Amino acid sequence: MLELYKTYLEVIDRYLNKCFEEQQPFIHCHAGCTACCEIGEYPFSRLEMEYLMSGFPELPAKTQKIIREEIKKLKLAKKQYRGRFMHKCPFLIQNKCSLYPRRGIICRTHGLASFEDKNGKCVIKLPECSKNGLNYSEVLENGTVSLERFRVYGVEAPVKHSLSLNYFEHEILKGVQGLEFGEIRPLLEWFTDAGE
Ligand code: SF4
């Protein structure tokens, strides 16, 4: 299954590269920026998790230990917290993703805007960093998306892409036999309290 996923990850990456090209006027991603890995829940499907962790044994023992300890700490903090637990990703070590080539689909979409169909209404979802003067900050007006501001950039229909896993499964990879993403959980929920 992982081999099949690796093949189709190339298809997903090509789709996402196209999204980045089309959204280029609003993208301010730069080397060393880790904003998207600093705060989130990072939903991963079972398949993505297996792929991510298949790279874990290849990490230096010291890095593995740091990640395990971080997961343990986060699990404990989550228990004591009520509500949606947003946190730094435990795989972010010294401002770099320690498993970058095997990162999840959510990680590959970091920084892009997307749309969601909510009861027949198209809702544009901007990346979190838009609030910090980064991607898409140009189209924010008092904290909400301004279509008028999109027009200033000559963009009439701002974002056409869905970035949900459901969309990837059913549209981008449609017809692919045997690829099962499985259950989706926030990253931390794939680990026991001992960080394993
Ligand atoms: S797995 Fe890597 S790219 Fe994804 S959120 Fe964690 S540090 Fe960032």
pLDDT in tens, 160-185: 778 888 888 888 887 777 888 999 99
Cα 91 to middle of ligand 1, angstroms: 6
The residue whose CA has the least distance to atom 3 of ligand 1 is 107
Q: Look at residue 51 and tell me if it is in a domain.
A: yes
In terms of average pLDDT, the best of 52-56, 138-142, 191-195 is 52-56
Cα 116 to middle of ligand 1, angstroms: 23
- How is residue 189 written in tokens? 């929920």
Instruction: List the domain range (segments joined by +) for residue 181.
Output: 2-107+165-190
Secondary structure string (H, E, C) spanning the chain: CHHHHHHHHHHHHHHHHHHHHHCHHHCCCCCCCCHHHHCECCEEEHHHHHHHHCCHHHCCHHHHHHHHHHHHHHHHHHHCCCCCCCECCCCEECCEECCHHHCCHHHHCCCCCEEEEECCEEEEECCHHHHHCCCCHHHEECCEECHHHHHHCCCCCCCCCCCCHHHHHHHHCCCCCCCCCCCEEEHHHHCCCCCC
Q: Look at residue 17 and tell me if it is in a domain.
A: yes
pLDDT digits (tens, 9 = 90+) for 4-54: 899 889 989 999 999 898 888 899 998 889 999 999 999 999 999 999 999
Count of structural domains within the chain: 1
Out of 50, 92, 96, 187, mutate this one to test ligand 1's pocket (max ligand atoms within 8 Å of CB): namely: 92
Q: Look at residue 147 and tell me if it is in a domain.
A: no
Q: Look at residue 32 and tell me if it is in a domain.
A: yes
pLDDT digits (tens, 9 = 90+) for 63-87: 999 999 999 999 999 988 888 899 9
Give the pocket of ligand 1 (CB within 6 Å). Answer: 37, 42, 89, 91-92, 97, 99, 103-104, 107
Q: Look at residue 28 and tell me if it is in a domain.
A: yes
For the question of whether the overall pTM of this predicted structure is more than 0.75, the answer is yes
Q: Look at residue 66 and tell me if it is in a domain.
A: yes
Q: What pLDDT score does 148 carry?
A: 84
Q: Look at residue 139 and tell me if it is in a domain.
A: no
Q: What pLDDT score does 189 carry?
A: 95
Q: Look at residue 149 and tell me if it is in a domain.
A: no
pLDDT digits (tens, 9 = 90+) for 96-117: 999 999 999 999 999 999 887 7
